[in-house]
Amino acid sequence: SMRNAIKDVIVSRGKTLYIYPQLYEGKECTPYLFCTGPTPAQQCDEFIPWLIKNGGKKFALPSANYVWPHTLNVYARKVIEANGGEVVLEDYYPLDQIDFSSTVNRIISSKVDVVFNTVIPPGVGPFFKQLYEAGFLKNGGRLACVYYDENTLGINQPNEIEGLASCLDYFKALGPEDPVSAKLQAAYDKQFPGTFLFAAGSAATGTYRGLKLWEAAVKEAGSVDREAVAKTLDHAQIAEGPGGPAEMVPGQRHCKMKMYTAVSKGGKYEIVARSAGLVDPKEC
């Protein structure tokens, strides 16, 4: 991954802090590297039981062939099986693959209930379209993808991904119940008008959260010195942000945050479940 490729340059050679804002596969415990996006535990522990209840027990894990899907799927499989589900297909494809006819046929013939997808662009659009054309949704199948935010919904026609479920730390649909998130979205839209939204899957929320946590750490430390800020960032908290408050877990260099499950309806997300409080990343 890019993070693994550059972290030594930043942390060891550059001797500075590295704040990594993207949702990712977990297991990053490098000193001075702080993760402010969701981990597998935060995206799977409540989401997969919801999928089993609202989709079914038979899962397929079609995946892009790189570190995030491989590591995420190890965790997802454990949660699926611990909740009475089963994985009937787990395959990995080149990142540029766009023909998934063989996989689609296996999904249909195996009567898969839930496609827990980690195929990424450019392949994900053709893959979802091919599943739709094969009747997966018509036959009651459920799509799930934990990186799918409001921006990626536009890759396909709404009917091709109707009912797709995602689990992220923020959705625009939070607006009415979360004035802080609504204010952030409005400010972003004013500064960057156009098609692309302030969204969680693109690390926008993790970046905002990371900068605000760093700000809190610097204020407490009274310095921008790496050692001083690393100590205060280890327990930094913010009372508000996209999706709600957040706090670093001391000793983990990962962040507790609220998590939300949303379902695509007519090309827009509707929130159908939310965590009771801040969810532990269960890392390091």
User: What is the per-residue pLDDT for 165?
Assistant: 99
Residue 82 CB neighbours (<10 A): 11
232 φψ region: left (φ > 0), alpha (ψ -120 to 50), beta (else): alpha
Mean pLDDT in consecutive groups of 10 residues from the start of the chain, 284 residues:
82 90 92 96 98 98 96 98 98 96 97 98 97 97 97 95 98 87 89 87 92 98 96 97 95 97 97 97 95
User: What is the per-residue pLDDT for 3?
Assistant: 84
The amino acid at residue 87 is V
Listed in order, the ranges of the chain carrying CATH 3.40.50.2300 are 2-38+197-257, 42-145
Class of domain 42-145: alpha beta
CATH code for the domain defined by 2-38+197-257: 3.40.50.2300
Q: How far apart are CA 250 and CA 244, in angstroms?
A: 19
